[in-house]
Amino acid sequence: MSEYISALMTCLEPINLLLIVAMVSLGIVFGAIPGLSATLGIALLLPVTFGLSTETSFVLLLAIWIGGVSGTFISAVLIGIPGSSSAIATCFDGFPMTQKGQAGKALGIGMTASFIGTVGSVILATLLSPVIAEFALHLGPWEYFSLCFCAITLVASLSKGNIFKGVMAAGIGLLMGCIGMDPINGATRFTFGNVYLTAGISTVAQMLGMFAMCQIIRDSAKGEAKMPDVDTVTNKGLGIGFKDIIENIKTIVFAFASGLWIGFLPGMGSGISNMVAYGYAKSINKDPESFGKGNPAGVWASETANNASLGGALIPMMALGIPGDGITAMLIAGLTIHGLQAGPLFMTEQPDLAMLIFACVLVAAIVTYIIQIATKRWFPYILKVPYHYLYTVILVICYIGGYGISNTMFNIYVMLALCLLAIFMSIAGLPTSPLVLAFILSSKLERYFRQGISYAHGSYKEFFTRPLSAALLAIAVFCVVWPLFSEHMKKKKAAAAVSVNQDVNDD
């Protein structure tokens, strides 16, 4: 408890509080403008953290994360375009409320639901992470290998479209993670005599190339660099009262629980939780037909769930060193930059920094809510920022960040190459999430696998005879097999239905 109080005091120091306010404000802008996101904001900030202390670095990264995720509902409500996938369900009822003249109420619900989801989930993450980390200290390399393998297969199986594309993307990520020095004996692999590849591919270069630059090029190519007109009507006050919360308390509680759980599962995150919570809210509502036409419960469910996923994703990141989503993968990269390793030992060896991360998320959530209330009337103007100004600045930051990694042009070339890879993957329909997660976990996956074999004197059976390891491997196999089996059964039922119809027509 003393570490947490100390962390809170650190966050409330004038310079850190000022940084939180600035980064939260920037994050809200990034989240509100479709095409930009908190992921992009963190990718751009990673190179900046090289010259900063570990504490200041995470104040910056966490603040822009919280502001960015919370700000996604703004464009969803005002123009019907989600700032990111986490606010897709918010569009369904948020924008119809705006069309009916209830924009102020919809924005007030979005702000309050985001605040409830973030604060509640980070408090639970603060309480649960040390317990999970203590349990994880008793696990061996067999369980850790199976956990990493399960995380990768889960993300691959949840990829949109063909599961083989998800597995292929994960394979590319694992192959990229093999470049550099062997983690066990130090031998170089896939460097082709290039000394710059000895340390492997830079995570920062990967994030800048595959997220920032690729996003800009794709939006420009699709002609999505122009925003529609926005009604800049002044919105005064919060727009809702305590009565609105009480009326929707059942929806809020379930949305919070589902968001927290889905955020905990690697690779799922807020993009899925907001849709699940929305579907439940519609199923329990007395007037389900009003959903999609401006029912406030739809906004409550979506925004509570997608922000509750933040705390859920923090738990595996802090306690196990497993990223819960793409953004926490970047936060793990931020720890790596400063010579730290997320996981059970991090919670015990660096308790001050671990508590600082939780405290910073809490403070950032409170600051975000205050800023949103104070600037609510100016939200429509955020969406009028010209894209050509934003994209120019972002590209310059990308090049500066790429060069600053090692003060050489090599990482800029890597960044451009990975940008081209991401564009090719987008054209081919390959998801990037499995690649990023597999790349982040590749070194751990290999190290734990080889340690497990070494400890067992060359035997593989420990991976299957230890209960938890066997259970995780079974889940991994199920994640891969079930989508294939499910697709086969759907085709079989469809064929049977066609056959029945033909028989009826013949009769």
Bridge-partner residues for 36, per DSSP? 34
* Mean pLDDT, range 272-294, rounded to an integer: 77
Q: Does residue 47 have a pLDDT over 80?
A: no
Helices first, then strands: H and E counts in the chain: 23, 2
Q: Positive or negative CA dihedral for 250, 303, 433, 63?
A: negative
Decide if 174 contacts 185 (C-beta within 8 A). Answer: no
Burial 217-235 (b: 16+ CB within 10 A, else e): bebeeeeeeebeebeeeeb
Q: What is the residue extent of each domain of the chain?
A: 2-506
What confidence category does residue 266 fall into, taking pLDDT thresholds of 50, 70 and 90?
low
* Mean pLDDT across 127-139: 77
Smallest CA-to-CA distance from 114 within 81, 77, 79, 80 is with 77
Look at residue 220 and tell me whether its pLDDT is greater than 50: yes
| DSSP string of 17-33, one letter each residue | HHHHHHHHHHHHHHHHS
- CB-based burial label for 441 (10 Å; 0-12, 13-18, 19+): buried
pLDDT, greater one: 202 or 88: 202
276 vs 260, which has greater pLDDT? 260
User: In whole angstroms, what is the distance from residue 284 CA to residue 248 CA?
Assistant: 11
Question: Which residue has better confidence, 345 or 243?
Answer: 243
In which element (H, E) is residue 5 found?
helix 2-11
Q: How far apart are CA 57 and CA 54, in angstroms?
A: 5
Give the DSSP H/E element, type plus range, for residue 180.
Answer: strand 180-181
- Indicate the range of 134-143, 344-353, 377-386, 412-421 predicted with least confidence: 377-386
Of the given ranges (116-125, 195-204, 280-289, 424-433), which has the lowest mean pLDDT?
280-289
Work out the pLDDT band at 367, boundaries 50, 70, 90: very high
State the sign of the Cα–Cα–Cα–Cα dihedral 453, 455, 457, 460.
Answer: negative
Query: Which residue has better confidence, 119 or 332?
Result: 119
What is the distance between the alpha carbons of residues 223 and 244, in angstroms, rounded to a whole number? 40
Mean pLDDT check: name the lowest of 19-33, 75-89, 181-195, 460-474.
75-89
C-alpha torsion sign, points 310, 314, 315, 321: positive
As a whole number of angstroms, the distance between CA 190 and CA 324 comes to 29
The token duo for 198 is 């000895």
Q: Provide the H-helix boundaries in 321-466.
A: 326-337, 344-349, 351-375, 379-382, 387-404, 410-428, 433-455, 462-465
% of the chain with per-residue pLDDT over 70: 86
**Amino acid (one-letter) located at 258:** S
Radius of gyration of the chain (CA): 23
Give φ, ψ of 36 to 5 degrees: -100, 170
What local confidence, expressed as pLDDT, does residue 127 receive?
86
* Closest of 408, 286, 362 to residue 127, by C-alpha: 362
Least-confidence region, from 66-80, 168-182, 447-461? 66-80
**CA-CA distance, 466 to 468, in Å (whole number)?**
6
pLDDT tens digit string along 374-431? 887 777 776 666 667 767 777 887 787 777 767 788 888 988 999 899 888 888 888 7
14-17: long-range contacts at Cβ-Cβ below 8 A with a sequence spacing of 24 or more?
Answer: 16/55, 16/56, 16/59, 17/363, 17/367
Q: How far, rounded to the nearest angstrom, does the alpha carbon of residue 219 sit from its chain's CA centroid?
A: 20
The set of long-range contacts for 193-200, using a CB threshold of 8 Å and a minimum separation of 24, is 196/406, 196/408, 196/410, 196/411
Dist. CA 471–CA 475, nearest whole Å:
6
Q: Considering only CA atoms, which of 446, 437, 443, 394 is closest in space to residue 415? A: 394
Tokens of 35: 């095409």
Per-residue pLDDT tens digits for 417-448: 998 998 888 888 887 777 877 887 787 788 88
3-state DSSP assignment of residue 286: coil
Which range, 213-227, 280-294, 377-391, has the best average confidence (pLDDT)? Answer: 280-294
190: left (phi over 0), alpha (psi -120 to 50) or beta: left
Tokens of 420: 């081209």
pLDDT interval class at 272 (50, 70, 90): low
Q: Which two tokens stand for residue 193?
A: 């005599």
Higher pLDDT, 501 or 201: 201
Average pLDDT over residues 236-246: 75
- Average of per-residue pLDDT across 455-462: 86
**Phi, psi values for residue 197, rounded to 5°:** -90, 0
Name the β-bridge partners of 181: 188
164: left (phi over 0), alpha (psi -120 to 50) or beta: alpha
The whole-number pLDDT of residue 366 equals 92
How much of the chain exceeds pLDDT 90, in percent?
2
- Residue 34 pairs in a beta bridge with 36
| Cα first-last separation, the chain | 77
Give the span between the Cα atoms of 96 and 98, in whole angstroms. 5
Mean pLDDT of the chain: 79
Q: In whole angstroms, what is the distance from residue 425 CA to residue 284 CA?
A: 39
Q: Is the pLDDT of residue 254 over 60?
A: yes
CA pseudo-torsion sign 69, 74, 77, 79: negative
Strongest mean pLDDT among 127-141, 208-222, 356-370? 356-370
Q: How many CA atoms lie within 13 A of 142 on its CB side?
A: 20
Is the pLDDT higher at 484 or at 271? 484
Q: Is 37 helix (H, G, I), strand (E, B) or coil?
A: coil
Q: Averaged over 267-288, what is the pLDDT?
A: 72
Cα(120)–Cα(304) distance, integer angstroms: 10
Identify the pLDDT of residue 35.
Answer: 60
How confident is the model over 111-126, as a mean pLDDT? Answer: 89
For residues 58 and 361, the answer to whether their CB atoms sit within 8 Å is no
Residue 474's Cβ-side half-sphere holds a number of Cα atoms within 13 Å equal to: 8
Residue 34, pLDDT score: 63
pLDDT higher than threshold 60 for residue 234: no
The residue with greater pLDDT, 371 or 225, is 371
